[in-house]
Chain A
Amino acid sequence: MTMSASQREVEYLATQIIKEEKPVTLQSFSRELDVHVHHSKEVLLEYYQKNKDKVTASFIITGKSSKGIVVKLSHSESDLEQDLANFTEIHTIHVYCLHLKKISLTNSELAFEELKHPVDASRREEYFKNGLIKGPVVKAVKLQPGAQPIAKRDAPARTSTKAATPPVEAKPVKSAGLTSSYVSRKQNNDKGTGKVNTLSNYTSRKGEAKTIPTKRASEESSTGYQYKSRKQDAKQPKERIIVSNSNDIEEDFEMEDEDSVPAKPIKSNSTDLEKLFDDDNFSDIDVDEKEKTEEPATVIEEQSTKETKESEDVSSKAISEEPVQTITETASEEPEEETIQEIDEDGYITTIKKSNAPPKPSRPAARAKPAAETKVAPKKKTDGKKKQSSLMNFFPKK
């Protein structure tokens, strides 16, 4: 048997094993001398066979046993036969490690021998060249679309972005990947949001606001609408309280009014209640009648609601100024005030509360009439007749 090992290799083995009395594994041999592991195995075996007197060898057996696939480290050649018996099928047997017979090492020590050598990632290429099994290439591609099977295994590597390679163009062939060559945008996250924020086109409109008159409560509403902002009245504390109470209730009334002609059920309830409080009933009926004649209605209500002279003055002023519109005004305001009575006087007298109900139904009707009177004249005629114009009348075709 001719020695396939070079002079250098034999010398290395001799120094390491015999002189330094260290074990030499096939990997360390391969690494140190920069030879392929296959060659390293051959050399080790050859060296072992020629120096059986001094050197002992451990072997690695791979194959199948009853338990499945097994890789077994066999401590020495003598153990080999015994270990082989455990295998049902043997794939490979090769030498693993050589060391002097006189230094006895356990299997574990041998196995750990390799761990003493740190793996240097920068020398990967070297390792590969010498037989380190190269797995599928791991690319730092973000969810590669239209990808070959490799792409799946790539997934975990996505996080390592430093080595990002340009994405492979997608192929229309059916695959688990996306048909578009979409690349995950998660990395871009920070960039993206930043951009959006900084480039926001929003322009503050505070400046504009200053240039424009902001008087809210000017009394002359040139639209012809005579409603007086109640915010002015708010200066009078008592009224203010009334307003806040009334709002909620008023809404309820309006709901009923819009949905249907809701008067009847309320009426029946109220009549029952009215019976209980006959005395008050009379006075309330009076109120209803008077409401129809605008001015007294407001006055009476207000009187009944623990009013101050101030509030009376305000309402009467409003009426005196514009008799026509007071109809709408009173219509909207009366229910509020009556309901106020309810709430205010709940603590004292319950009668007024019940009597308030009957006026509700009568009001929508009352409301509609004045609206028709006041507003129909100028606009309603046109409403039906108005004709929709076309944009084509205004914008020329390009």
Chain B
Amino acid sequence: MLEGKFDESTLLKKIVDSVKDCVKLCNFNCTEHGITVQAVDDSRVLLVSLLVGQTAFSEYRCDRDVTLGIDLESFSKIIKCGNNEDYLTLLAEDSPDSVMTIFEDKKKERVSEYSLKLMNIDSEFLKIDDMEYDTVINMPSSEFAKIVRDLKNLSESLNIIVTKDSVKFTSEGEVGTGSVVLKPYTDMDKPEESVNVHLDNPVDLTFGLKYLNDIIKATSLSSTITIKLADKTPALFEYKLDVGGYLRFYLAPKFDEDE
């Protein structure tokens, strides 16, 4: 029996909206510690790794590990049926063929429940080792989103160069070139506005803006984003959930053809 109660439906709504554009089907693995998702997009370039910790729920109970194969597009439609402030409860049996989503209005006497049929999803579970990254950048997530949105207009690729004291995002296309340079910056009053760069080795990596554009859909989940980069390695973009958990994207870089 899985029973997860969110105090507000907003969180799950945001999570599903963040992910549904890059992966359509994914398995929600529910354990006693919370819900995890690992899914790879069709082109196998972007990997989504989600942890919704037990603490993100106002109440959470999972007697036995359950895997919920969910069609995110449909799930998103269901989740949109709830108002943001509604209580949201997820319910599933031990070996479920459907998952129940229940909304309850906090003021009015209204309870709505939706059952979503589950799917059998074959998913390759990739093993991601903790690794050392050359560079770790912390920055406001909205700032990153803006950079991606802006530079996406110019080309398909975003080049990120990190050196000792600056981070440079460059996009070069036929119509022109754009680049944004960020330097470390500490805002004591609003730490989430700070830009921190921890650098072990300079990096120069290029990523597909198409995928970055999917990644920034998670911007609403967290005020900051952590970007971890290492040469010739997928980059890690992490949005930490304030309530416990994270949404991570691993994005394979682009290489020069001869490499």
Q: Give A contacts to B, CB under 8 Å.
A: 143, 155, 178-180, 182, 184-186, 188-189, 191-193, 195-196, 199-202, 204-206, 208-216, 218, 220-223, 225, 227, 258, 367-368, 371, 375-376, 379-380, 382-383, 385-398
A379 lies within 8 A of B59 (CB) = no
Query: Which of B127, B157, B179, B244 contacts A397, CB < 8 Å?
Result: B127
A213 lies within 8 A of B234 (CB) = no
Query: Chain A residues with Cβ under 8 A from B36's Cβ?
Result: none
Complex: chain A residue closest to B198, CB-CB: A212
A387 to B257, alpha carbons, bound, how many Å?
6
Query: Chain B residues with Cβ under 8 A from A398's Cβ?
Result: 124-127
B89 lies within 8 A of A371 (CB) = no
A386 lies within 8 A of B206 (CB) = yes
Given A208-B196, A379-B172, A387-B257, is A200 in contact with B164 using a C-beta cutoff of 8 Å?
Answer: no
Nearest CB on B from A379, distance (A): 6
B243 lies within 8 A of A143 (CB) = no
B111 lies within 8 A of A178 (CB) = yes
Task: Contacts A179-B115, A204-B191, A392-B126 known; list 12 others, CB within 8 Å.
Answer: A184-B104, A185-B5, A186-B104, A196-B56, A201-B243, A205-B194, A215-B183, A371-B177, A379-B159, A383-B155, A386-B254, A388-B208
Name 19 interchain pairs, CB-CB below 8 A, sorted by A. A179-B115, A182-B111, A185-B87, A186-B87, A209-B188, A215-B184, A222-B164, A227-B181, A375-B172, A379-B172, A382-B256, A383-B173, A386-B254, A390-B252, A391-B126, A394-B234, A395-B126, A397-B125, A397-B126
A185 lies within 8 A of B89 (CB) = yes
Query: Chain A residues with Cβ under 8 A from B113's Cβ?
Result: 178-180, 182
A178 to B46, alpha carbons, bound, how many Å?
39
A213 lies within 8 A of B184 (CB) = yes
Contact with A along B89-107 (1 / 0, CB 8 A): 1010000000010101010
B7 lies within 8 A of A391 (CB) = no
A250 to B125, alpha carbons, bound, how many Å?
50
**When A and B form their complex, which 6 residue pairs have the shortest distance between CB atoms, in order from nearest?**
A192-B58, A395-B126, A199-B55, A386-B254, A223-B168, A222-B163
A221 lies within 8 A of B181 (CB) = yes
Q: Does B141 contact A (CB under 8 A)?
A: no
Query: Chain B residues with Cβ under 8 A from A218's Cβ?
Result: 165, 183
Query: Which of B124, B234, B255 contacts A387, CB < 8 Å?
Result: B255
**Which stretch (B16-24, B37-45, B65-73, B75-83) binds chain A?**
B37-45
A209 lies within 8 A of B186 (CB) = yes
Given A212-B198, A383-B155, A397-B127, is A391 in contact with B166 using a C-beta cutoff of 8 Å?
Answer: no
Nearest CB on A from B134, distance (A): 15
B206 lies within 8 A of A391 (CB) = no
Q: Give B contacts to A, CB under 8 Å.
A: 5, 7, 40, 43-47, 53, 55-56, 58-59, 87, 89, 91, 100, 102, 104, 106, 109, 111, 113, 115, 124-128, 138, 153, 155, 157, 159, 161, 163-166, 168, 170, 172-173, 176-177, 179, 181, 183-186, 188, 191-192, 194, 196-198, 206, 208, 224, 233-234, 240-245, 250, 252-257
Given A199-B243, A388-B43, is A205 in contact with B250 using a C-beta cutoff of 8 Å?
Answer: no
A211 to B87, alpha carbons, bound, how many Å?
41
Given A218-B165, A222-B164, is A205 in contact with B191 using a C-beta cutoff of 8 Å?
Answer: yes
A201 to B124, alpha carbons, bound, how many Å?
30
A396 lies within 8 A of B252 (CB) = no
A395 lies within 8 A of B186 (CB) = no
B163 lies within 8 A of A223 (CB) = yes
Query: Chain B residues with Cβ under 8 A from A368's Cβ?
Result: 176
Given A205-B138, A212-B198, is A223 in contact with B161 using a C-beta cutoff of 8 Å?
Answer: yes
Query: Which of B40, B102, B127, B224 contacts A178, CB < 8 Å?
Result: B102
Complex: chain B residue closest to A394, CB-CB: B234
B159 lies within 8 A of A395 (CB) = no
Complex: chain B residue closest to A381, CB-CB: B256
Complex: chain B residue closest to A205, CB-CB: B191
A380 to B53, alpha carbons, bound, how many Å?
44
Query: Which of B104, B157, B181, B188 contacts A223, CB < 8 Å?
Result: B181
A134 to B58, alpha carbons, bound, how many Å?
39
A196 to B244, alpha carbons, bound, how many Å?
9
Query: Chain B residues with Cβ under 8 A from A206's Cβ?
Result: 188, 191
B256 lies within 8 A of A386 (CB) = yes
Query: Chain B residues with Cβ under 8 A from A388's Cβ?
Result: 43, 45, 208, 252, 254
Complex: chain A residue closest to B47, CB-CB: A391
A389 lies within 8 A of B186 (CB) = no
Query: Chain A residues with Cβ under 8 A from B91's Cβ?
Result: 180, 182
Query: Chain A residues with Cβ under 8 A from B191's Cβ?
Result: 204-206, 209
B125 lies within 8 A of A390 (CB) = no
Query: Chain B residues with Cβ under 8 A from A386's Cβ?
Result: 157, 206, 254-257
A383 to B234, alpha carbons, bound, how many Å?
18
Nearest CB on B from A206, distance (A): 5
Query: Chain B residues with Cβ under 8 A from A391's Cβ?
Result: 40, 44-47, 126, 234, 250, 252
Nearest CB on A from B105, distance (A): 9
B172 lies within 8 A of A188 (CB) = no
